[in-house]
Amino acid sequence: MTDAACDGGGKGMRAKKYCNYVREIRDIKIEKVISISVGQVDIEAIPVVYDKRRIGINNEWSEPYSFKRTSRYTSKQYVQVVLTDQLTKVSEFSTSVEFDAKLFDSIGVRAGQAAKKTVTIDLTKQETKTHEEEFTLDEPIEFQVPPCVGRFAEYFDQKRRVSIPLVLRGVLTAKVYDVVPGWKREFFIRDIGPGDPQHLREFTLRGNVEMQGSDRQLTIELREAKLDPSSCAKQ
């Protein structure tokens, strides 16, 4: 249908009825968060994760070798909220959820002395990180390597990792406009807000709260293997 077919018969642009328009919803904002549901965690069942590093030497000489090094191990703790659903074209909005300190302590996340630990959630971003810290652990490693033996030290901290399901529900507000592309005109129609049924303005976001912590201690384990005698110096 053309604009001419929609002529209201009046004078001037105000009398025109526009058929070719686009209805747009703009200025979308989060009015409030209704609820945040977080899954249960069995603290005793949180697995230990190892990221092992290795250092050592193959002693192909006929004499014992004294190995001495200072190992430097870089590790990290973090708490992050990763949303599998995402809001777009929405004004920034953050909220938070609290966890018992026992959970943080069992994982090895350091976050102060408070009995409740606060985790921030940015509803307009796919990922929000809090309590993130990178740290180094230094430890001297010394051992003797017999002739024709490869001896190595594996060193690591004990990390714990957990992923906790999260469901967040909230309510939006917005404004409705009619835009007439050919005339480069737009008309405000109405607000979407408290006057509308709340269930029509609700949204749901799902994701996970992911945590990683560390005991911040290096464990060192020695490994060795006999070398091929043909590659070693004769004793």
- pLDDT tens, residue by residue, 32-53: 999 999 999 999 999 999 999 9
Report domain 27-169+205-231's class.
Answer: mainly beta
Lowest mean pLDDT among 17-21, 119-123, 177-181: 17-21
Q: pLDDT at residue 12 above 50?
A: no
Type of residue at 159 = K
Q: What is the pLDDT of residue 6?
A: 53
Lowest mean pLDDT among 5-19, 72-86, 106-120: 5-19
Tokens of 45: 């069942």
Considering the chain, what is the average pLDDT of its residues?
89
Q: What is the pLDDT of residue 142?
A: 95
Q: What is the pLDDT of residue 19?
A: 65
Q: What is the pLDDT of residue 184?
A: 76
Q: pLDDT at residue 215 above 80?
A: yes
**For range 207-222, the mean pLDDT:** 96
- Tens digits of residue pLDDT in 146-188: 999 999 999 999 999 999 999 999 999 999 999 988 777 888 9
Lowest mean pLDDT among 58-62, 97-101, 178-182: 178-182
Q: What is the pLDDT of residue 235?
A: 58
Q: What is the pTM of this model?
A: 0.80
- Tens digits of residue pLDDT in 28-37: 999 999 999 9
User: Measured on CA atoms in the order 107, 110, 114, 118, is the torsion positive or negative?
Assistant: negative
Q: What is the pLDDT of residue 38?
A: 96
Domain ranges of the chain: 27-169+205-231
CA distance 43 to 51: 21
Q: pLDDT at residue 11 above 60?
A: no
Q: What is the pLDDT of residue 182?
A: 75
Tokens of 13: 């642009």
Give 71-131 as a DSSP string: EEEEEEEEEEEEESS---SB---EEEEEEEHHHHHHHT----S-SEEEEEEETTSSEEEEE
SS3 call for 135 = strand
Q: What is the pLDDT of residue 137?
A: 96
